[in-house]
Amino acid sequence: MYKTTGVTKTSKVFSAVNAQAEKIKEYGNSLKESLKDEILDVSVIKDELSITVKTSEIKKVLLYLRDHTYSKYEVLIDIAGVDYPSRKERFEVNYLLLSVRYNARIIVKCNVDEVTPIESITDIYKTAGWLEREVYDMFGIYFTNHPDLRRILTDYGFAGHPLRKDFPLTGYTEVRYDDTEKRVLYEPVEISQEFRSFNLLSPWAQEINKIGK
């Protein structure tokens, strides 16, 4: 007689995971019904709910998620930017929220182009202050009504936004300390490339050619 204990336990785990995914999807659909004019799309990725909202309605949606009895997403974990240069609205801003009461997470997304600003949510989540500054510094996405929107990771007078896909890996300037002038100098990046002769034939191919001759 074969023991099926392991198989039974595995099937129970899969059933529990599927049931959890269905609950998450059901909750996402209920959100879309409640905020049908604000939410554009709802999806479940790796058992985590993700919603895409209109950029102009981001504050309304986040207030709803924070204050509603069946949401209570009162913790803002992070704000992350993503750059898709091929899109018309090339930037995607992701708000990662946590509900301690329900032990649940959600990702709220909105899309903007290079010139469209997003309204700051510092009056909803205090932690958004530094997070929005980081997104502004790295991607150049502007947040209106932010109390102190300045660069936070790069140096004073830094040109460009490092996490944009069209920003060069070497940057535009390099920094060095000059002993003569006794100060730090910023200079344009100069990459010297020495001439090299490449032989694309493998050593095995060369030996075969010698044998053939």
Structure tokens belonging to residue 102: 């329900």
- Residue 192 in any domain: the answer is no
User: Rounded mean pLDDT of 43-48?
Assistant: 85
- Residue 210 in any domain: the answer is no
Confidence of residue 2 (pLDDT cuts 50, 70, 90): very low
- 44 close to 54: Cβ distance less than 8 angstroms: no
Which residues in the chain belong to E strands, given as ranges? 39-45, 48-53, 75-83, 91-99, 104-112, 118-119, 143-144, 173-178, 183-188
More confident residue, 145 or 3: 145
- Residue 113 in any domain: the answer is yes
Structure tokens belonging to residue 151: 């660069």
Alpha-carbon gap, residue 145 to 78, rounded angstroms:
19
CA proximity to 41, closest of 104, 91, 111: 111
Q: What angle do CA 62, 65, 66 make, to 5 degrees?
A: 85
Supply the CATH number for residue 65's domain: 3.30.460.80
- Residue 63 in any domain: the answer is yes
Amino acid in the structure at residue 86? S
Q: Give the global pTM.
A: 0.78
Burial of 165 (0-12, 13-18, 19+ CB in 10 A): exposed
Alpha-carbon gap, residue 36 to 62, rounded angstroms:
14
Show Cβ contacts of residue 51 under 8 Å, excluding neighbours closer than 6 positions.
28, 31, 32, 39, 41, 42, 43, 61, 106, 107, 108, 109
pLDDT in tens, 55-65: 999 999 999 99
- 58 close to 125: Cβ distance less than 8 angstroms: no
pLDDT in tens, 93-117: 999 999 999 999 999 999 999 999 9
83: domain range? 5-155
Alpha-carbon gap, residue 50 to 29, rounded angstroms:
11
Q: Which residue in this structure is represented by tokens 């060069």?
A: 168
Paired residues of 184 in beta bridges: 177
The pLDDT of residue 21 is 76
Show Cβ contacts of residue 181 under 8 Å, excluding neighbours closer than 6 positions.
none
Q: How many domains does the chain have?
A: 1
- Residue 196 in any domain: the answer is no
- Residue 170 in any domain: the answer is no
- Residue 209 in any domain: the answer is no
Longest dimension (CA), the chain: 87
> How far is residue 111 CA from its own chain's centroid?
12
pLDDT in tens, 122-149: 999 999 999 999 999 999 999 999 999 9
